[in-house]
């Protein structure tokens, strides 16, 4: 496993981050693995050198954090692991059980600490920007968590570049903790982040943690078409994923990945992930796995270096897309 610094910080993270949305309870989503089914993935990831794990309080409505915390305490050394979680989406039915108010952020953080079974969260991220709450209130609350020792670093996920720039500016003006990472929707099929967000992150030395790096399996070759709902339980039931990739998907890109994978003799997933890892702004793509072979395929991408010609071939068919995932 290779490691890199997260943005401008001294925090070392593995070049792959294991996304833990798939681990929790199928009562939340039918494709989610329960705790017993999830354990081998944490063991394999840690054995392979992954030290970076990302979850959220809304995944399985908290159960993902519980499963993640127990597995990491059993299989890893917490002082060497980087545990990330997120706050924003509803975790209850009350009006204060969601959003980025000071009340919800502080309460949600304390609840996540209990579920994870740790004293400090390494990376605490806003899952989305809150259109109602002033960014100053959100940042002040996050800064409070950092100075109280409950959070080490803060990050953001999925917003417009102007929102992120406004947040970075407010932190600098007030001397508050600053976002060190951006978890954004970025892959070969969706590159709109290259217009503004990626250059902003490069300029501000913010580490990018792309989610959906394989475009819900499309770049791994697991689906014959966007409308193929038979590839997996998730493909059949992932209503959010259906909004991200529709009939505008450029299948020339998928075929380019398939061609280069064939030439290299490696799985398509490795090519798509190697492309992301070649980008200077990208610290660690967030990979999801519900089969151990998917995790093994992803691990193989870390040592795979694409040539300039291969990268050009992968990028050439891209066409502008509507903004998705914000």
pLDDT per position as a tens digit, 76-100? 999 999 999 999 999 988 999 999 9
pTM (two decimals): 0.93
| 46-50, 78-82, 92-96, 314-318: segment of lowest average pLDDT | 92-96
Determine the pLDDT at residue 294: 96
Determine the pLDDT at residue 233: 65
Answer whether residue 212 shows pLDDT above 70. Answer: yes
Determine the pLDDT at residue 250: 86
pLDDT single digits (tens) 191-207: 999 999 999 999 999 99
Angle at 108 between CA 106 and CA 112, to 5 degrees: 120
Contact 200, 165 (CB under 8 A): yes
Determine the pLDDT at residue 137: 98
Q: Is 59 a catalytic residue?
A: yes
Answer whether residue 312 shows pLDDT above 90. Answer: yes
Residue 185 to residue 193: CA distance in whole angstroms: 7
Q: How many CB atoms lie within 10 A of CB 5?
A: 14
Higher pLDDT, 322 or 301: 301
* Class in CATH terms, 3-315: alpha beta
Determine the pLDDT at residue 234: 63
Across 182-197, average pLDDT? 97
Determine the pLDDT at residue 216: 85
Determine the pLDDT at residue 237: 60
Residue 23 to residue 41: CA distance in whole angstroms: 9
Contact 212, 220 (CB under 8 A): no
Determine the pLDDT at residue 326: 85
pLDDT single digits (tens) 104-155: 999 999 999 999 999 999 999 999 999 999 999 999 999 999 999 999 999 9
Across 264-286, average pLDDT? 97
Annotated catalytic residue within 59, 124, 153, 190: 59
Kindly report the three-state secondary structure assignment for every residue of the chain: CCEEECCCCCCEEECCEEECCCECCCCCCCCCECHHHHHHHHHHHHHCCCCEEECCCCHHHHHHHHHHHHHHHHHCCHHHCEEEEEECCCCCCCCCCCCCCHHHHHHHHHHHHHHHCCCCEEEEEECCCCCCCCHHHHHHHHHHHHHCCCEEEEEEECCCHHHHHHHHHHHHHHCCCCEEEEECECECCECHHHCCHHHHHHHHCCEECCECCCCCCHHHCCCCCCCCCCCCHHHHHCHHHHHHCCCCCCHHHHHHHHHHHHHHCCCHHHHHHHHHHCCCCECCCEECCCCHHHHHHHHHHHHCCCCHHHHHHHHCCCCCCCCCCC
């Amino acid at each position: 496993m290779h490691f890199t610094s997260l943005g401008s910080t001294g925090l070392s993270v593995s070049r792959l981050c294991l996304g833990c949305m798939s681990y929790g309870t199928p009562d939340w989503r039918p494709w989610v693995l329960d705790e017993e089914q999830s354990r081998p993935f944490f063991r394999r990831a840690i054995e392979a050198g992954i030290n970076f794990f990302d979850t959220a309080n809304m995944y399985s409505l908290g159960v993902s954090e519980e499963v993640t915390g127990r597995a990491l305490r059993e299989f890893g050394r917490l002082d060497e692991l980087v545990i990330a979680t997120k706050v924003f989406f509803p975790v209850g039915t009350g009006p204060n059980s969601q959003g980025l108010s000071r009340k919800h952020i502080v309460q949600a953080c304390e609840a996540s600490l209990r579920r994870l079974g740790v004293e400090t969260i390494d990376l605490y991220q806003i899952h989305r920007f809150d259109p109602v709450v002033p960014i100053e209130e959100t940042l002040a609350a996050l800064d409070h968590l950092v100075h109280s020792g409950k959070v080490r670093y803060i990050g953001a996920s999925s917003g417009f570049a102007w929102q992120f720039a406004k947040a970075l500016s407010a932190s600098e003006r007030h001397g508050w903790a600053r976002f060190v990472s951006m978890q954004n929707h970025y892959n070969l099929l969706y590159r709109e982040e290259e217009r503004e967000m990626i250059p902003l992150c490069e300029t501000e030395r913010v580490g990018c943690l792309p989610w959906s790096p394989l475009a819900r399996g499309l770049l791994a070759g697991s689906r014959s078409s966007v409308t193929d709902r038979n590839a997996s339980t998730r493909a059949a039931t992932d209503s959010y994923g259906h909004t991200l990739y529709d009939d505008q998907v450029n299948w020339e890109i998928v075929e380019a990945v398939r061609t280069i994978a064939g030439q290299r003799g490696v799985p398509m997933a490795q090519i798509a992930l190697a492309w992301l890892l070649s980008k200077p702004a990208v610290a660690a793509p967030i990979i999801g796995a519900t089969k151990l072979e998917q995790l093994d395929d992803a691990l193989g991408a870390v040592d795979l270096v694409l040539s300039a010609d291969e990268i050009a071939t992968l990028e050439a068919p891209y066409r502008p897309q509507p903004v998705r995932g914000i």
